[in-house]
Amino acid sequence: MPLRLVVFDFDQTLSAVHVYNSLAGGTEAGLPGPAACSELGQLSRVLELSHHPQLQQQGGFAAACFGGLARVGRLAAMLEQLRDAGVECMICSRGLVGPLQKLLDQLGLLQFFSEVYANIGDTYGQTGYDREVQRAALGEDIRFLGTQQQSQWSSKRQVVEIAIRKRGLSREEVLFVDDQAHEIKSMQGACRSLQVYPPRGIGEGQMSEILRHAQRQPWARPAPRGPTAERRGSSRTAATPSPVASQGSFLAYSTPPGKESKGKWLPALPGRKAPDRGRRALWCCPQ
């Protein structure tokens, strides 16, 4: 059955870089200091970096976090098509609500998400910079700070299960998208799931695949192959993988793991070797 709800992770799923780690002093993004770990401090840093001259060459700090303006445009198009198809979108992140919502708002993407769940306040401690930031200095942007309701959750699975229950959805109508394998594994039996790999943000091929699954038919298990299948006279249709996306190793499966997989990922089919570079998506379904 078609999707009715998609729950996205933020860092390295919607965004192309790990925003929290970058603002907290991580070296991946090569941002100038100071480092910030609190919600207030990171929101303040987002405002400061929005005017950084070097980042303006990439369309600004927000666009740089999302892989450039072209990718932002593709994300917006996907989210708009999901909305037009009646698919609700939410975010559940282990990052901080304030900077997350500010970045999405700057890019015009926040409007596509009905709910945002993440951490707030000093969950991850404070730096010297954090302690010096004054709420009043944020002006109107103070509105991006999260509420207690947005942070009252212990696991992403809990957020998904509550959303399913509140909306009266079946688990096949919900998709969870994340770059972390352990988060994907935690969703087994709860909903469909999609792992973004490598963790550099969902790619164009993956966006197209998500849109396709918004109108897809129910899961169908693969039919037996070879002589065994002929003896059984099976009328079921064998599983067929989606085409490998042009930008890299993207393998999405239209069937759930077989019994032999014990709930783990389906292997690539014989004769279809994934390229070494690019993004890959791994699909799993509820068991």
**pTM, to two decimals:** 0.76
Is residue 139 one of the residues assigned to a domain?
yes
Is residue 170 one of the residues assigned to a domain?
yes
Is residue 73 one of the residues assigned to a domain?
yes
Is residue 256 one of the residues assigned to a domain?
yes
Its domain, for residue 45, covers 5-224+241-261+277-284
Is residue 268 one of the residues assigned to a domain?
no
Return the pLDDT at 104.
Answer: 98
Is residue 168 one of the residues assigned to a domain?
yes
Return the pLDDT at 284.
Answer: 55
Give the separation between CA 217 and CA 215, rounded to whole angstroms: 7
Return the pLDDT at 46.
Answer: 95
How many domains does one find in the chain? 1
Is residue 147 one of the residues assigned to a domain?
yes
Is residue 232 one of the residues assigned to a domain?
no
* CATH number of domain containing 11: 3.40.50.1000
In one letter, which amino acid is 246?
S
Give the separation between CA 31 and CA 41, rounded to whole angstroms: 15
Return the pLDDT at 235.
Answer: 40
What is the chain's pLDDT, residue by residue, as a tens digit (287 residues)? 789 999 999 999 999 999 999 999 986 657 888 999 999 999 999 999 998 888 887 789 999 999 999 999 999 999 999 999 999 999 999 999 999 999 999 999 999 999 999 999 999 999 999 999 999 889 999 999 999 999 999 999 999 999 999 999 999 999 999 999 999 999 999 999 999 988 999 998 899 989 998 876 444 444 444 444 444 444 433 333 333 222 222 222 222 333 322 323 322 233 333 333 344 445 455 55
In DSSP notation, the chain reads ----EEEE--TTTTSSS-HHHHHTT-SSS---S----SHHHHHHHHHHHTT-HHHHTTTSHHHHHTT-HHHHHHHHHHHHHHHHTT-EEEEEEEEEHHHHHHHHHHTT-GGG-SEEEEE-TTTT---HHHHH--GGGGGGGGGGS--HHHH--S-HHHHHHHHHHHHT--GGGEEEEES-HHHHHHTTTTSEEEEEESSS---HHHHHHHHHHTTPPPP-PPPP-HHHHHHHT--SPPP-PPPPPTTS-----SSPPPGGGTTSPPPPPTT-PPPSSS-EEEEE---
Return the pLDDT at 9.
Answer: 98
Return the pLDDT at 41.
Answer: 97
- Token pair 């379904």 in the structure block, residue: 285
Return the pLDDT at 237.
Answer: 36
